[in-house]
Each structure stands twice: as C-alpha cells, then as structure tokens.
A and B are shown apart, each in its own frame.
Chain A
Amino acid sequence: MSPFVDALLLGAGYNAALVGLGAALLGFAAGASGTFLFLRKRALVSDAVAHATLPGVALAFMVMVAIGGDGRSLAGLLAGSALSALAGLLAVEWIVRSTRLSEDAAIGAVLSVFFGLGVVLLTVIQTMSAGRQAGLEGFLLGSTAGMLFEDAIVIAVGGALTVAATWILRRPMTLVAFDPEFAAAQGYDVRRIDLAIMGLVLAVTVIGLKLVGLILIIALLIIPPVTARFWTERGGRAMWIAGAFGSSSGYIGSALSASAPALPTGPIIVLVATAFFVVSLLFAPARGVAAAILRHRTFQARVHRRQGLLALARDEHIHDPLTLRLLRAEGLIRRDGVATASGRAQAARVARDERRWDVAREIHQNTGLTGRYDGLTPIDEVLTGDEIALIDARLGGPKGVGGTT
C-alpha cells in the first residue's frame, strides 16, 4: 500500500507526479463538459468523435515526416487529431440532417470508417523508414511512460480553457438540453449550441488523447456525469460534482497505476471512475438502488399495516403473512391473530379515517384535495380541525369495533 500512498502524496517521482496532476485536471474538464453531453442525451456522439481522431494523428505524422521532421511534435499530432475529429463530428451531423438515418446509425458508420482508416494509416506508417513512429499506438489506449512537462502544460491549459468555456455556456447548454424548442423560441441557435457542446467534448478528447487514449476517453466524459446525477437534482451542481468525480478518478487512478510496475494508467483511471459509479448507483441517498429498495419496503409496510388494521376493524381474517408479521411485531395482534386492546384502538382509528375520507372525497370533489387521498395519509394531516369536525357531524358518533368502543 505504501507505494500507492507515496504516489497519492506526489512522492513517487517527477513523472508520476506530472501524470497524477495531469489526470486530475483532465478528469475535471472531462466530467464538467461531459455533463452537458449526458444531459443532451448524445453521449455516444463523443465515441464517434474520439475514434475519428485516429486518422488525423496518423496523417499529421505523415505530413510532418514529409516536410522533414521526425513526426513527433505533440502540437502537430493534436492539431491533426482535432481536425479529423471535427470531420467525424460534422459527418455525423450531416448524415442525421440530410438522410433518414438516425443518429445511432450515423455514429456507428462514422466511428468504424474513421477508426478503420486510422488503423490502415498506422500500418502504413509502420513500414515507413523515415520518422520515429514508435509510440503512436499509445494514442489508442494512452501512455504515460514518456509524459513530458509540455504534455502536462497542454492538459492544464486546455483543461482550464474547456472548463471556463463550459461555465460560460452553461445556461444556453442547459436550456438546449432540457427544452430545445423553448431555447429556439428565445432566439438561441440550437444547432450552434449543440456544436459547442460537441466542441467542448472534442477539446477534452484531444487533450486527453495522450494520457487516456481515444478508446477510453468516452468513459471519462460519461461516467462522472452519470455518477454525479445520483447525488444531485440540480443541473448547476451536477457539473461541479461530475468534475470532482472525474478529477478524483484521474488522480487516484494514476496513483494506483504508479504504485505497481505494470498497471496501465488510462484503464485504471476508468476502473476507479467505474468504482465511484457503482458505489453511487447502490448507495446514493435519494436515487440509489438501496434507497429505492428501502423506500419501497417502507411503503409496502405502510400499505400492509393499513390493510391489516382495516381488516381487523371489519372483523375479517388476515391471511397475508407479511401483514400478520407487521401487526404482531407492533403488538397489535396476538400470536393467534386476535386483536389486542391497542390493536382494536388503532383499527378503530384507521376505520374512522377511512370513513372521514369517504365523506371528504364527496364534499371536495374536483378540487386538489381528492388527489391527496392515497389511502395512507391520515386525514388530519391534510384537513384542519374544523373541517374534520364538519365531516364528523355528517358521520355521527364513533362506531364500535370488534364489540368494544
């Protein structure tokens, strides 16, 4: 564990520290800008954009070698990847706009064509004698071995610009994601804002290419926003929470990979992000699976308790094992199913509540009130004392239950 702690504290060497900080910054930018991609429900477009970077990387390398260099200038490779990613993005948009194909089909077509072309070009490069082609495959799954200070600067500056642009555009992007028709009616150019969302995604993809690689970058764009969604109901906060999950994943993931010799950084970062996601999915307070099960159980218990008490009030036999168990646990019935004194009192109260509701629904027809009858809420939580007195006047005196009053 100690190498891991060392790496967490940036004590695992210069390269590991650079990678850790770079991954944290990249994770933040990816989570924040990915939030709007996720809210717009166009997550998979980013996969097409990411795969479309590959031919650009290869072509940029070939061009740089052709004009006489070793083809390894990072700026040149990233510019190439950005251009071909943009071509891929525009291809998806064009196919959707001018044919009857849906977006998923367009994504599939563009992704595979661009990626296939990229692989072919990489193979061609392997046979070239000029240039230093070693390491280009690193753009597929990311590589941190040769991470330079200049790479960290690219990520830091690019990431900061992306987050700033995301923040500035947050309102139009929120509007377009939630209600594009309303946005258009207000005079926003929906198509341009969609392109801006994708432009931010493209920027994150390009700056993350070296570290995480084009195949896994989609995970950093999508998993943190999806995780954040479990923890907030507010779009404004979702962006920052997603950024926090993204940067934690990047930082912890790179520290983990630095602590053992053969762990690949990009995939480990993605696995850490996935761990955050799984924990949130299960245990988030309002939207998590555990909370949902608990809510369902509580509700079920309330329904069974109410039905059981109503059955007691009507002197009916109770068969349902869950109802029997609940009533017994509360001491409302004895082991043989006969109501106890407190059981009879509760049953009378519930029966009275039902009768009051019957009257209330008659009196208050067509108002909001009838919507509040869920068969579970006691009427005195909904109506005031004098309103209930009025209902009771129509009901007459309390009726006995099970022979006692």
Chain B
Amino acid sequence: MRNEHAYPALVAEDGASVVKLPEKGPLDIRGLTVAYGDKPAVFSVDASFAPGALTAIVGPNGAGKSTLLKAALGIIPALSGEISSFGMPLDSVRDRIAYVPQRASVDWDFPASVLDVVLMGLYHRVGLLGRLSGASKAHAQACLHRVGMADFQDRQIGKLSGGQQQRVFLARALAQDADLYLLDEPFAGVDAATERAIIDVLKELKRSGEAVVAVHHDLATVETYFDRVLMLNVRRIAEGPVTTTFNAETLSATYGGRLAATHIDHLTLAT
C-alpha cells in the first residue's frame, strides 16, 4: 500500500474514523498514464515527492523515467492522471518549480553566454516587458558561483565542457528560487568534479527544506546520494526510503533480467 506516503492519514483515537489531511506535497501524481502512439510509456503511476528530501527515480532504459517528469510538468500530454503541486493545480505554482532538462536536449551552439542562460530562469518572473535589472544579474551570478562557474559568465555556452554545461543548467534552476527541483539525468556524462559539485548543491537545497527529484541511472550511487527512491518500469514498482526500499528484490522486479546478479552483489544493499 501507500504506507510510505509522506503525508499519512490521521486515524482518530477510536480507530474508526480516518481524517485525511489535505495533500500539500511538492508534487503529487495520481494515476498518470502517458503513451507514445498506442504503447504506454508510463502506466497508471502514483507518486508523491517529499520536501527536504532527495528522491531518485530509477529504472531501466525505456522505463518512462524522463517521460514521467515531463508529463508531470505538462511538457508532454498525458492520457490520464491528476497532478497537483503544493496542493494546487500545477499552472498556479509553476514559479515554485524548477526543471533541469537533459543536457543533450538542446543545441549548445545557440548564441548565448553562460549568464544569458542563467537569466532565462528569471524570464517568467520578470514578465514580457520587465527589465532584467542589476539585481537580477547579481542573483544569476550568485547562482553561478554556487555551482563553481562564476568565472565563466561571459563564455559562449558552446565552448563549455559537458560537465560545465550541466552546471549552467543547474544554475538556471537555482535562479528560480524554487521549492521543487526536478532534474533529468543531472549526472549523465559529467566529470567526477562536476558530479561532486552538483550533489553538494542538491544536498544544500535539501537541507533548506526543498524537494529535489532526479532521474538517476547510476545504481551504485543511489544509496550515498539519495534519501528516497521511486523505482519505475512503466508501472511503479516501489517507492520509499532508500534504506528499506532499495533492495535486491525491488531491483530485480524493476530491471528484470537486464541487471545481472553480479551487478546487484556489487551494491551494498539493505536486506
């Protein structure tokens, strides 16, 4: 059942009447189904993400991890399902949500500097005719500083390494001052120093009470980086704290034969 839910129902003393608290999780997904053509990529998935926690979404290729995030944000249409964020319809709280797409999803030869890209995180807030003031620029620079890219603000984005590009994307999300951060494979193809810089920033966000959700593909780091895990293979396989949920049984249920037994042995798993 959903005993791992972040917001449990209150049970009255007599044990009979159940008072369900209004759900105000950063992101609550109910019965989400997404299909490409007539093949479901995500099927009837329920998920809730907790504030002040780092949640990993794991699953094999084609399990619908990125699709789940995109559909939850309305980037791609869903066939069915309900999405609410902080207890509100998504569209009324978009300014509280920051999304970091996959680095490979954009053309980095675009004419923009590093600072330009970070400022894109503020476009929606300042509106069509609003000015990007000195304060906005200072804020963007501070965000670049947090990801260790302060010296690169005038660099054309095409001249960055993959890891640096990923940091710029993260800085753009930080500029939004959001309460919910959704990251699609933030560690894909980045160098070790960048991976450390990114996880440090994510842990900082978590400490200040933000909800952080990342599609993650490196099973070896799930336990060291994340607090909670959503295991997905088109359907939801398991969801809960890493310590109790991430184990050999759920892994083989998620990955099936695609994950060799030796691979599982390499992970220090809770039993």
A, B assembled together? yes
- Residues of A with C-beta under 8 A to B193: 366-368
A179 touches which one: B97, B106, B156, B192 (CB < 8 A)?
B106
**Alpha-carbon distance A58/B113, docked complex (angstroms):** 47
Assuming A171-B123, A181-B99, is B116 touching A235 (CB within 8 A)? yes
Is B110 within 8 A of A178, CB to CB?
Answer: yes
State A163–B117 Cα separation when bound (angstroms): 23
Assign chain A's interface to a size class: 20 to 34
User: 1/0 per position for B146-187, CB-CB distance to A under 8 A?
Assistant: 000000000010000100000000001000000000100000
Contact B116 A185 (CB under 8 A): no
Cα–Cα distance between A236 and B120 once the two chains are bound (Å): 12
Interface check A168, CB cutoff 8 A: yes
B191 touches A187 (CB 8 A): no
Q: Is B101 an interface residue (CB 8 A)?
A: yes
Contact A368 B75 (CB under 8 A): no
Are B113 and A179 closer than 8 Å at their CB atoms?
A: no
- Which B83-117 residues have a C-beta within 8 angstroms of A? 91, 94, 97, 99, 101, 105-107, 110-113, 116-117
A172 within 8 A of B: yes
Main secondary structure of the interface of A (DSSP, over half): helix
Supposing A179-B106, A366-B193 touch, asked if A234 and B116 sit within 8 A by C-beta, the answer is: yes
A371: which B residues are within 8 A, CB to CB? 161, 191
Q: What CA separation (Å) do A165 and B48 show in the bound complex?
A: 41
Binary interface encoding of chain A residues 199-241 relative to chain B, with 1 for a CB under 8 A from any of its CBs, else 0? 0000000000000000000000000000001001111101000
Q: With A168-B128, A178-B106, A238-B111 known to touch, is A185 a contact of B120 (CB < 8 Å)? A: no
For the complex formed, measure the closest distance between the CB of B96 and the CB atoms of chain A, giving whole angstroms: 11
- Whether, in the assembled complex, B124 has its beta carbon less than 8 Å from a beta carbon of chain A, the answer is yes
Residue B135 CB within 8 A of the other chain: no
Check if A309 is an interface residue, CB within 8 A of chain B: no
Is residue A175 contacting chain B, with contact meaning CB distance below 8 A?
A: yes
B30 within 8 A of A: no
> Would you call the interface of chain B mostly helix, strand, loop, or mixed?
mixed
In the assembled complex, how far is the CB of residue B262 from the closest CB belonging to chain A, in whole angstroms? 25
Q: What's the count of A-B pairs with C-beta under 8 Å? A: 77
Is A185 a contact of B110 with CB atoms below 8 Å?
A: no
Cβ of B139 under 8 Å from chain A: no
* A154 interface hit (Cβ, 8 Å): no
The reply on B73 being an interface residue by CB < 8 A is: yes
In the complex, B236 has a CB within 8 A of chain A: no
> Nearest chain-A residue to B176 (Cβ)?
A186
Give the Cβ gap from B10 to chain A, nearest Cβ, in Å.
34
A181 cross-chain contacts in B, Cβ below 8 A: 70, 75, 99, 101, 105
Residue A113 CB within 8 A of the other chain: no
Report yes or no: A175 in contact with B192, Cβ–Cβ below 8 A.
Answer: no
Q: How far is the CA of A168 from the CA of B129 in the complex (A)?
A: 7
| Cα(A39)–Cα(B193), bound, Å | 32
A182 contacts across to B, CB distance below 8 A: 99, 101, 120, 172
Please tell me if B40 contacts chain A, counting CB pairs below 8 Å: no
CA distance A232 to B113 in the complex (A): 11
Tell me the complex Cα distance, A259–B127, Å: 48
Q: Does A169 contact B (CB under 8 A)?
A: yes
Output the least CB separation between B233 and chain A (Å).
23
Q: Does A276 contact B (CB under 8 A)?
A: no
Distance (whole angstroms) from the CB of B173 to the closest CB of chain A:
9
Contact of A185 with B97 in the complex, beta carbons under 8 Å = yes
Among candidates A177, A186, A367, residue contacting B110 with C-beta atoms closer than 8 Å: A177
Binary per-residue interface labels of chain A (248-267) against chain B in the complex, 1 for a CB within 8 Å, 0 otherwise: 00000000000000000000
Residues of A contacting B209 in the complex (Cβ-Cβ under 8 angstroms): none
| Cβ-neighbour of B123 out of A39, A172, A184, A238 (below 8 A) | A172
> In the complex, which residues 212-228 of chain B have their Cβ closer than 8 Å to any Cβ of chain A?
none
Contact check, A172 vs B113: say whether CB atoms are below 8 A apart: no
- In the complex, whether B74 has a CB less than 8 A from a CB of chain A is yes
Given contacts A179-B106, A235-B110, contact A184 B73 (CB under 8 A): yes
- Chain B residue contacts of A235, Cβ below 8 A: 110-112, 116
Chain A stretch 150-203: residues in CB contact (< 8 A) with chain B: 168-169, 171-172, 174-175, 177-179, 181-182, 184-188
- Assess the A186–B129 pair: CB atoms within 8 A: no
Q: What's the least CB distance linking B105 to chain A, in Å?
A: 6
Q: Which residues of A contact B91 (CB under 8 A)?
A: 187
Task: Return chain A residues, CB-CB under 8 Å to B120.
Answer: 171, 174-175, 178-179, 182
Are A234 and B191 closer than 8 Å at their CB atoms?
Answer: no
Q: Do the beta carbons of B156 and A188 come within 8 Å of each other?
A: no
Q: Do residues B75 and A185 form an inter-chain contact, with CB atoms below 8 A?
A: yes
Which of B99, B111, B123, B192 is A185 in contact with, Cβ under 8 Å?
Answer: B99
What's the nearest-Cβ distance from chain A to residue B249, in Å? 34
Interface members, chain A 291-334 (any B CB < 8 Å): none
Residues of A within 8 A of B191 (CB): 368, 371
Complex alpha-carbon distance, A310 and B83, angstroms: 64
Q: Which residues of B contact A39 (CB under 8 A)?
A: 110-111
Shortest beta-carbon distance, B45 to chain A, in Å?
19
Q: A233 touches which one: B97, B105, B111, B128 (CB < 8 A)?
A: B111
* Residues in B neighbouring A233, C-beta threshold 8 A: 111-113, 156
Binding site for A on B (CB under 8 A): 70, 73-75, 91, 94, 97, 99, 101, 105-107, 110-113, 116-117, 120, 123-124, 128-129, 156, 161, 172, 182, 191-193
Beyond the given A175-B123, A233-B156, could you list 15 further A-B residue pairs with CB under 8 A, ordered by the A residue number? A39-B111, A169-B128, A171-B120, A171-B123, A174-B112, A178-B106, A178-B112, A179-B101, A179-B120, A182-B101, A185-B101, A234-B112, A234-B113, A367-B193, A371-B161
Residue numbers of A with Cβ under 8 A of B are 39, 41, 168-169, 171-172, 174-175, 177-179, 181-182, 184-188, 229, 232-236, 238, 366-368, 371
Which 3 residue pairs across A and B have the least CB separation, nearest first? A185-B99, A187-B94, A233-B156
10 contacts between A and B (CB under 8 A): A39-B111, A171-B123, A175-B123, A177-B110, A182-B99, A185-B94, A187-B91, A234-B112, A234-B113, A235-B112
